[in-house]
Structure 1
Amino acid sequence: MKLKKMTVIAGLCAGLISTSTLATTIGVTIYDYKDNFMNKFRNDLTADAKLQGDTKLILTDSQNDQGKQLDQVQTLLARGVDVLAINLVDPKAAKTIIRKAKQNNVPVVFFNKKPSQAALDSYDKAYYVGADAKQSGIMQGDVIADAWKKHPSWDKDKNGVINYVLIKGEMGHPDAEARTKFVIDELHKKGYKTKQLHLDTADWSTAKAKDKMDAWLAGPDADQIEVVISNNDAMAWGAVTSLKQNHKNIPVFGIDGMKQTFKYMQDGKMYGTVLNDDKNQAKAVLKLATNLANDKAADDNLGYTIQDKVIYVPYVGVSDDNLSQYIAKN
């Protein structure tokens, strides 16, 4: 009887040790809390970590300052985090962060801003979670093409050419470059001719995009603008505000699938977006980081495909045809 009691106690102690071992601390840096999409992602990540129960997040805001982010990474490593989850300010800084993580034998999961493949390949515990920016550009082109076909009145000069202005995220940013290129390539692939009236960067900012749109609407070719294309929803909102204030009715298209965009689409202020699936990206980051922190195989019970150390969560085009189902989810 005494032996049995001792065995039970030993079993309980082993269980406690096992539970403790599974607890994971993830050091997270977000490039800028002011970014609408990243703020939404951060909320998803926090909610999922709470549901998981055995995961602690240490969250930091890099305030779009790469130097600050590098300091935060150093501090997180000094605090003994089990794994890093990094939303880079500048993708070129990935090599520096990987070197710091490697020196401390700490895995690192990059998300939203993709490092170079060479950087990922330099460390066996480095991975990336995000979405394929090329796919988002292609899908935005599809959404625009379908809407243009349904609204022949948008072709003001009746010449079959889509006269557009394009608000770009930032020069040199991989997502901005891909979205800018492939949205137009896709329109051409579908047989549409295009004419670029203006293209400028607005750093993913609503306020800066409004300023750009204000300037274009004050220009001599304002009446020629037939479509506004934006690399993200937040900048599209700036264009919507500018158009309203200038009493102009021009279709606007974004990327991200934000709740406010769905409302604008309901109200006829925007005509399409491409859903950047923040919820599934957050789940993938959390599960992958937890696997790596606990020395499990990266793809252990993951639910997402890893190829070349990358997980891509698919985008979804949102137009009038399927808007109702996304309004219901939000």
Structure 2
Amino acid sequence: MKKLILGSALALMLSTAAHAETVGVSMSKFDDNFLTVLRNGMIDYSKTLPGVTLQVEDAQNDVAKQQSQIQNFIASGVSAIIVNPVDTDATTAMSKLAADAKIPLVYVNREPVNVDSLPANQAFVASNEQESGTLETKEICRLLKGKGKAIVMMGELSNQAARMRTKDVHDVLATDDCKGIEIIQEQTANWQRTEGSDLMANWLSSGIEFDAVISNNDEMAIGAIQALKAAGKDLSKIVIGGVDATQDALAAMQAGDLDVTVFQDAAGQGKGSLDAALKLAKGEKVDTKVYIPFQLVTPENVKDFVKKN
């Protein structure tokens, strides 16, 4: 009987070990509201999956540190790697490291520069950035009735999302319905609320006048709102838009300060990236690009998205 019990226990242990998966996760930085939701979504989802362990590291916005983390994941023999890139132009080298080690790699949220030439066991999970800036700018154009002056706040220029969202803005404003809107300033605030506030304060001190703020993300838009309020500006006369639909952005919209944002499903991207990584680790086929749809958020439907976040 003892032999039978021991045999059964050993078989269970071996079965569990056979299904255990360790996934190394390198996030560009922990100190970011949207990426925190993404990271927590991934961690929470992993807790529902038996035998799955995440090793989550903070690259602290340092490309060299992130590459070192990937090398350490490889050395420790993880089943798969998930990367939220610090610099999307630096991903070719990261892909080669993982491919040479024959370890699956999934990029999440930020599109790698080599997305169209990823190795067979690599994938990209995010939302299609062509939708984000387009949805935001079309709604701002509608609110302005196709005429006015706009300022654009860009994210980190090393980031594909910032470049794509800014291109979306220009593409929409070049259309017949929106070409009456002129961009009078366009600068980066590196995705950050504080930098967004400082940039807006600088613009205001220079005496420029504008009808809209088109921001690549919510954090910079919130920073702009703070600076505008500090300067005593009437927010009802300025259309302000962002992207991500973070909790703070939704609160700003409900308070009447933010006019437009675009829901990017951070938790959904985290879950999708982990699903892709685990499938690749098992040798299953995964689409090279997995897109989680963006959705326009306005004061009319904001309550629907408060529940989602």
Q: Which runs of 5+ in 1 are unaligned?
A: 150-159, 300-305
Number of residues paired by the alignment?
Answer: 304
Select the residue among 258, 263, 278 that pairs with 2:246.
Answer: 258
1:280 and 2:264 correspond: no
Select the residue among 152, 156, 160 that pairs with 1:170.
Answer: 156
Distance 2:96 2:307 in 1: 44
Aligned to 2:199: 212
Select the residue among 134, 138, 162 that pairs with 1:142.
Answer: 138
How far 1:205 moved relative to its partner? Answer: 0.8
The alignment partner of 1:200 has SS state of: strand
Larger radius of gyration: 1
Distance 2:292 2:258 in 1: 25
TM-score, structure 1 length as denominator?
0.86
Letter in 2 for 1:233: D
Distance 1:122 1:257 in 2: 30
The alignment partner of 1:52 has SS state of: coil
Letter in 2 for 1:219: S
Q: Which runs of 5+ in 2 are unaligned?
A: none
Q: Deviations over 1:91-124 (max 9, x none)?
A: 222121122112221110011111134x663521
For 1:197-208, list aligned pairs within 5 A: 197-208=184-195
Distance 2:23 2:195 in 1: 34
TM-align CA RMSD: 2.0
Letter in 2 for 1:51: T
The alignment partner of 2:47 has SS state of: helix
- Contact persistence 1:210–1:241 (CA under 8 A): yes
How far 1:270 moved relative to its partner? Answer: 0.6
Using a 3 Å threshold, how does the CA distance of structure 1 residues 109 and 238 change in structure 2: closer, same or farther? same
Distance 1:189 1:10 in 2: 71
Letter in 2 for 1:196: I
The alignment partner of 2:82 has SS state of: strand
- Contact persistence 2:104–2:280 (CA under 8 A): yes
How far 1:14 moved relative to its partner? Answer: 4.5
Select the residue among 229, 232, 241 that pairs with 1:247.
Answer: 232
1:28 and 2:41 correspond: no
1:92 and 2:92 correspond: no
TM-score, structure 2 length as denominator?
0.92
- Contact persistence 2:196–2:220 (CA under 8 A): yes
Once structures 1 and 2 are overlaid, which stretch shifts more, 164-173 or 41-50?
Answer: 164-173
- Contact persistence 1:139–1:183 (CA under 8 A): no
